[in-house]
Amino acid sequence: MEYWNTEIQITNNRQLITKKMSEQHTDKPIIGITLGDYNGVGPEVILKTLHNNQLNRICTPVVYGSMRILNRYRNLLEMKDWNLFGAQRVEQINPKNTNIITCWMNQEEEIQPGKVTPEAGQAALVCLQKAMEDLKANKLDALVTAPINKHNIQSEEFKFPGHTEYLADAFGVKEPLMFMVSEQLRVGVVTGHVPLNKVAAHLSKEKIVANLQAMIQSLRNDFGIRKPRIAVLGLNPHAGEGGLLGSEEQDIIAPAVKQLRDKGQLIFGPLSADGFFAAQSYRKYDAVLAMYHDQGLIPFKAIAFNDGVNFTAGLPIVRTSPDHGTAYDIAGKNQADETSMRQAIFTAIDIAKRRKENAEMEKNALKKNPVVEKMTSQEEK
């Protein structure tokens, strides 16, 4: 009798394990990856990251690019021991393989690593557009974008300084947050791709408050930090020295900080940027809000260049990218480090899963519990 009970238990356990494995397999997030400028390091870091399908345990990668271009780079990088899986549509992808959706066909086109060409720019745009179609149709769980050249991608359909502005326009978001994230540091910027001599004119109390609110929401929903501590940097040297070196801190930044502190948020500043990073004070905070691009990105890249990730907060979708550019000087030389691309994919997976879990929790919280309702009703009587 004990023998049969044991056999039944083993069979039930096997069925349970099989069911769980099946659920894990179907629950793997589908991550879209755009090729970027194919004469830069984008194809190389993508191939190195996905080599031998090493990420397929935790996600199903779908590269929007060109099978022909990627095979050229695969041969150049001597990755001939590994095959790519071609699909015409995302519905045809194989969860066990690295999937390639060819977005354009040009049999005469050749890769020219390190060279800026209009063909590579337009190909990057076509890949981005195709991925956006699937993203808007909820066929992808997240998007990871390889680096583009902001000049050769320009066209009637793309008149933006970069991915962040393009995505914000596509989803109708007025104040997206360029959020650079790593294990050591998270930095957002109020003004992104803006000339330095125009930064002050682009600052306002409302804009800073909107960016801080987007940062707070992202830290809670995307990174699981319930009560985030945020440092806000000043614009001028020494945070204005009480008005001696500029009035933006007193007139714009401090009032924005006060408005959110009065609502119970843990916001601190304005702080002097040089002393803040020199003393490693960023370790005391969950994130830092810088006033302009280089104020935030120079220290971020100095601290977390290899594993840093560019995340666009404030969007209804998940988008990340490596924190480096096209790096034409090393393109095609097998010198590009894929760590940032790998981290961009990991971050996209984590955020997509966390958002899905949050949505499920909110959905379940709205469901009525008949037992609780009955008890409440009895108590009221």
Domain boundary among 251, 276, 309: 309
Distance CA 116, CA 105 (A): 20
Domain boundary among 260, 288, 309: 309
Going 118 to 124 to 125 to 126, the CA torsion angle's sign is positive
What DSSP letter does each residue of 135-160 carry, written as one string? HHTT--SEEEE----TTTT-SSS--S
Do residues 185 and 293 both lie within one domain? Answer: yes
Q: Output the pLDDT for position 362.
A: 80
**What is the model's pTM?**
0.85
Q: Of 1-15, 301-315, 360-374, where does mean pLDDT reach its minimum?
A: 1-15
Quickly count: other Cβ atoms within 10 Å of residue 250's Cβ.
15
Do residues 185 and 264 both lie within one domain? Answer: yes
Do residues 303 and 259 both lie within one domain? Answer: yes
Do residues 184 and 120 both lie within one domain? Answer: no
Do residues 148 and 289 both lie within one domain? Answer: no
Supply the mean pLDDT for the chain: 89
Do residues 73 and 103 both lie within one domain? Answer: yes
Do residues 236 and 179 both lie within one domain? Answer: yes
Q: Output the pLDDT for position 82.
A: 87
Do residues 245 and 343 both lie within one domain? Answer: no
Provide the domain limits for residue 205.
Answer: 175-309
pLDDT in tens, 324-357: 999 999 999 999 999 999 999 999 999 999 999 9
Do residues 58 and 125 both lie within one domain? Answer: yes
Q: What is the CATH number of the domain that holds 243?
A: 3.40.718.10
Do residues 221 and 128 both lie within one domain? Answer: no
Task: Give kind and range of the element (H or E) at residue 373.
Answer: helix 370-380
Distance CA 258, CA 255 (A): 5
Q: Tell me the residue length of the chain.
A: 381
Do residues 200 and 131 both lie within one domain? Answer: no
Domain boundary among 309, 324, 354: 309
Do residues 11 and 146 both lie within one domain? Answer: yes
Q: Give the count of domains, the chain.
A: 2
pLDDT in tens, 180-232: 999 999 999 999 889 999 999 999 999 999 999 999 999 999 999 999 999 99
